[in-house]
């Protein structure tokens, strides 16, 4: 049966297909962007300046170009089909983190619990999006059985975008807590905080503080991507 271009146009209207990374038409995720993500090289990462209490952290990609576009599309534009794409990156990062942290390695080898703990989302963003992308991503990374959705924001926080490093830290100070019903399950359990992107490190530091205050074991963190470090002298007025 011959193609009906008019009907194909209808399909496009119903579900426009453009690559979430580069905008190329006719595909949701193009081969060129797939190559960029497959070049993920999991590595330890620290922000500069590094906030107090920042955990040992591993990441896979620089948050720029197609990677940034893909993460924004996944999170803000409901491109849930990118869950497996980003989860593949996260799985590699998680493997490096578990191997790179002796207490986590020991727990894995001894078959004692390790907890994957998603960074919390603001209640307003959960309402707006109708979903919680980071727990989805952590589950898609293959170990939903390790997932402990433990962290909540205890008060309203400003959107972190546009805040300086110091403002982000102040915005999040003591803003995260561990849900009472999972405290016992996390006691002395090595934890891995999961987030999509690390920028100033304020979120990961606050999540770590909350977990340790609740009696969790050693904490490390994994993210899909990390913001590229910019030369401080080039942007003296903004240290984000």
Residues touching Zn ion, count (CB under 5 A) = 6
Q: Which is nearer to Zn ion, 19 or 189 (CB)?
A: 19
In whole angstroms, how close is the CB of 33 to Zn ion at the nearest point? Answer: 3
| CB of 30 or CB of 89, closer to Zn ion | 30
Q: How far is the CB of 102 from Zn ion (least distance, A)?
A: 39
**Sheet containing strand 43-44, strands side by side:** 43-44, 57-63, 219-227, 191-198, 115-118
- Report, in Å, the least distance between residue 30 CB and Zn ion: 3
- Cα pseudo-dihedral 143, 145, 150, 152, rounded to 10: 60
Phi, psi of 113 (to 5 degrees): -65, 145
Q: Which residues pair with 153 in a beta bridge?
A: 176
C-alpha–C-alpha distance, residues 89 and 85, integer Å:
7
> Does residue 30 bind Zn ion (CB under 5 A)?
yes
CB of 27 to Zn ion, least distance (A): 7
> What x-and-dash track marks residues 3-22 binding Zn ion by CB under 5 A?
----------------x-xx
Name the H helices within 77-201: 83-100, 102-109, 123-129, 133-140, 165-172, 180-186
Q: Which is nearer to Zn ion, 32 or 78 (CB)?
A: 32
Torsion region of 190: left, alpha or beta (phi above 0 gives left; psi -120 to 50 gives alpha)? beta
Nearer to Zn ion, 33 or 224 (CB): 33
Q: Hey, which residues between 80 and 139 contact Zn ion (CB under 5 A)?
A: none
Handedness of CA 235, 237, 239, 240 (dihedral sign): negative
Does 55 bind Zn ion (CB under 5 A)? Our answer is no
Q: Should residue 34 be labelled a site residue for Zn ion when binding is judged by CB under 5 A?
A: no
211 binds Zn ion per the rule CB under 5 A: no
Among 9, 18, 28, 33, binds Zn ion (CB under 5 A): 33
Tell me the closest approach of the beta carbon of residue 169 to Zn ion, in angstroms: 35
Other CB atoms within 10 A of residue 51 CB: 20
Positions in the binding site for Zn ion (CB under 5 A): 19, 21-22, 24, 30, 33
């Amino acid at each position: 049966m011959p193609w009906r271009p008019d009907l194909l146009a209808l399909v496009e209207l119903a579900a426009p297909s453009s690559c979430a990374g580069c905008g190329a038409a006719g595909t949701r995720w193009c081969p060129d962007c797939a190559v960029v993500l497959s070049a993920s090289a999991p590595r330890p990462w620290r922000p500069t300046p590094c906030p107090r209490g920042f955990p040992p952290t591993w990441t896979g990609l620089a948050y720029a170009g197609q990677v940034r576009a893909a993460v924004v599309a996944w999170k803000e534009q409901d491109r849930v089909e990118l869950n497996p794409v980003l989860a593949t990156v996260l799985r590699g990062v998680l493997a490096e983190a578990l191997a790179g942290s002796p207490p986590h390695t020991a727990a894995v080898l001894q078959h004692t619990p390790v907890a994957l703990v998603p960074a919390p989302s603001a209640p307003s963003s959960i309402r707006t999006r109708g979903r919680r992308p980071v727990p989805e991503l952590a589950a898609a990374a293959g170990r939903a059985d390790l997932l402990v959705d433990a962290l909540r924001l205890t008060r309203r926080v400003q959107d972190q975008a546009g805040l300086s490093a110091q403002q982000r830290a102040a915005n999040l100070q003591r803003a995260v807590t561990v849900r009472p019903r999972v405290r016992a399950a996390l006691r002395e359990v090595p934890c891995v905080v999961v987030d999509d992107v690390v920028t100033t490190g304020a979120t990961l530091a606050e999540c770590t503080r909350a977990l340790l205050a609740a009696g969790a074991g050693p904490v490390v963190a994994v993210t899909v991507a990390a913001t590229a470090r910019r030369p401080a002298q080039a942007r003296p007025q903004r240290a984000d």
